[in-house]
């Protein structure tokens, strides 16, 4: 029996998986493999939260394949060498995988495809993670888009995405294929134990992550159904900005690891709308699908500007006069949620506890770091990379350059979020603050947003002493805003002269 290798990467699902379907076509034996090669990410190896998620997602994939009579072959090492060894050991004549769009992986995959083909092995890549691949959406002049709205309009003009494919029938591998020879350290079937990848933290800080997330394809489906069944579309346009309520889908980590694909999300939304003529649902659906579009835009920008994660897209910002933080005290206070600005601290504590942060709050904490503290956006990007379960190179880079004012379709640098006004507007009672900064929960709601403005008598009556129970603000919001605008003027002048 001929065999084909399906190389899983960030497509950890069986449904709507083009590489898996292609490998299984014509009743071929399928050899599913996952290769752990963090060094091949060239400086962007997954952070701690991502590794925790990956471990549990691989567990779920292993179980799903085992239920169909197939083992997931797990190996660590150089991807090309591992694939070549598996080809030799199994006699496989084809390797299929789904494309990734991180610059390092594009280079790696092109080299692997050529090397396999040179030795007579069919090597094919497929699209499983995007509605429209980055090179398929162009302006009228054939260039890439720098602004989201025209990009998304161009995407919509390409029509509805293809229907997602069901999970393929997977013929069980033959005994000869199941027993793979390997080096010491592999189990009796030649598989690397998942635990050997050491993805889980040595110190168990992930208890709160386990309480809030179910990694894996089944968990992704449950999350989508929960969102849709709780009238998520009908209320999305308003609730999406309210951090104290469950108004967003929370699908981002599932999409990043490919436990669900955008075509599946798109189809589920359309099916829900087919039986719902409510205007709010249709408006919410448009807003929600535009978030899928924003994810597409992030990959579009990264593909066309591969240095985007490190360098500002607007070159003027390369000379921005960032503030000195020699002992790292400002950055540390921000990371720990100890800035004395309640909405910022609530967001940073939610991030550390759950590996996730509400999108509105992401913008606020990003603006505070880059503009009020005037620290480089790359520092925030690195912290999010390590602590977010949905850390995605394209989306993380786009978000940070957006808030910094230096990226594609970015917010103007002079747009500086006021965390107090944002909190008062989108969380009037301060419920989000009370949840994540419990010291302030005893205060009357109107004083939770800016406790330094509360009368001393109110603070005393509710057992809050600033500087003891909760920090004083590490920066004056008004003065730091003016300093940020003055700094921006310094990089504007050369371009205007």
Q: Which residues are catalytic?
A: 291, 294, 322, 359, 377, 400
Q: How far apart are the first and last CA of the chain?
A: 71
SS3 34: strand
User: What angle, rounded to 10 degrees, do the helices at 279-304 and 148-157 form?
Assistant: 110
Q: CA–CA separation, 126 vs 128, rounded Å? A: 6
**Using CB atoms within 10 A of its CB, is residue 334 exposed (0-12), middle (13-18) or buried (19+)?**
buried
SS3 74: strand
Q: CA–CA separation, 226 vs 221, rounded Å? A: 9
Q: Which tokens hold the place of 250?
A: 């929370």
**Using CB atoms within 10 A of its CB, is residue 286 exposed (0-12), middle (13-18) or buried (19+)?**
middle
| Bridge partners, residue 124, by sequence | 96
Residues 333 and 474 sit within 8 Å (Cβ to Cβ) = yes
Q: Report which of 20, 34, 167, 6 is spatially closest to residue 95, judged by C-alpha positions.
A: 6
Find the helix or strand (DSSP H, E) in which 352 lies.
helix 342-354
Burial 48-68 (b: 16+ CB within 10 A, else e): bbbbbbbbbbbebbbebbeee
Helix-then-strand count for the chain, H and E: 22, 5
Q: CA–CA separation, 378 vs 242, rounded Å? A: 27
Find the helix or strand (DSSP H, E) in which 19 lies.
helix 18-24
Q: CA–CA separation, 362 vs 345, rounded Å? A: 11
Which residue shows structure tokens 């162009």?
Answer: 138
Residues 366 and 403 sit within 8 Å (Cβ to Cβ) = yes
Could you give the C-alpha distances from 418 to 237, 414, 437, in angstroms and in order?
Answer: 22, 12, 19
| Bridge partners, residue 35, by sequence | 75
Residues 459 and 443 sit within 8 Å (Cβ to Cβ) = yes
Q: Which tokens hold the place of 130?
A: 């995007």
Which residue shows structure tokens 């994660």?
Answer: 309
Q: CA–CA separation, 195 vs 59, rounded Å? A: 10
């Amino acid at each position: 029996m001929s065999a084909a290798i399906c190389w899983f990467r960030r497509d950890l699902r069986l449904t709507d998986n083009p590489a898996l379907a292609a490998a299984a076509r014509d009743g071929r034996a399928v050899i599913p493999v996952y290769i752990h090669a963090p060094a091949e990410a060239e400086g962007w190896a997954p952070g701690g939260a991502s590794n925790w998620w990956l471990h549990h997602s691989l567990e779920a994939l292993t179980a799903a394949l085992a239920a169909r009579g197939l083992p997931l072959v797990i190996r660590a090492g150089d991807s090309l060498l591992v694939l070549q060894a598996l080809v030799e050991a199994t006699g496989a004549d084809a390797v299929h995988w789904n494309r990734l769009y991180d610059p390092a992986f594009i280079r790696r995959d092109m080299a692997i495809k050529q090397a396999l083909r040179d030795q007579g092995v069919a090597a094919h890549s497929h699209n499983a993670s995007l509605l429209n691949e980055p090179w398929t959406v162009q302006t009228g002049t054939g260039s890439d888009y720098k602004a989201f709205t025209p990009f998304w309009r161009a995407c919509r003009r390409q029509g509805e995405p293809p229907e997602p494919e069901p999970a393929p029938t997977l013929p069980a591998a033959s005994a000869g294929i199941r027993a793979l020879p390997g080096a010491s350290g592999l189990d009796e079937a030649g598989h690397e134990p998942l635990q050997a990848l050491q993805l889980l933290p040595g110190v168990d800080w992930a208890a709160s992550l386990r309480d809030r997330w179910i990694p894996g394809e089944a968990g992704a489906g449950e999350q989508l159904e929960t969102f849709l069944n709780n009238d998520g579309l009908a209320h999305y346009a308003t609730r999406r900005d309210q951090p104290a309520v469950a108004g967003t889908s929370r699908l981002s980590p599932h999409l990043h690891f490919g436990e669900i694909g955008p075509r599946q999300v798109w189809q589920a939304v359309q099916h829900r709308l087919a039986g719902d003529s409510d205007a709010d649902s249709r408006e919410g659906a448009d807003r929600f699908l535009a978030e899928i579009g924003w994810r597409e835009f992030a990959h579009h920008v990264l593909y066309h500007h591969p240095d985007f994660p490190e360098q500002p897209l607007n070159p003027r910002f390369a000379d921005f006069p960032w503030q000195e933080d020699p002992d790292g005290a400002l950055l540390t206070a921000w990371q720990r949620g100890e800035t004395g600005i309640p909405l910022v601290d609530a967001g940073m504590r939610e991030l550390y506890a759950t590996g996730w942060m509400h999108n509105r709050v992401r913008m606020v904490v990003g603006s505070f770091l880059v503009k009020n503290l005037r620290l480089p956006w790359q520092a925030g990007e690195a912290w999010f990379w390590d602590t977010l379960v949905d850390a995605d190179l394209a989306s993380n880079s786009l978000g940070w350059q957006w808030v910094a004012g230096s990226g594609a379709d970015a917010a103007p640098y002079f747009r500086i979020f006021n965390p107090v006004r944002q909190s008062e507007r989108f969380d009037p009672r301060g419920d989000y603050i009370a949840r994540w900064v419990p010291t302030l929960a005893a205060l009357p709601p109107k004083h939770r947003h800016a406790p330094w403005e509360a009368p001393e008598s109110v603070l005393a009556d509710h057992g809050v002493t600033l500087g003891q129970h909760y920090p004083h603000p590490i920066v004056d919001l008004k003065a730091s805003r003016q300093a940020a605008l003055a700094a921006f003027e310094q990089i504007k002048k050369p371009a205007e002269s």
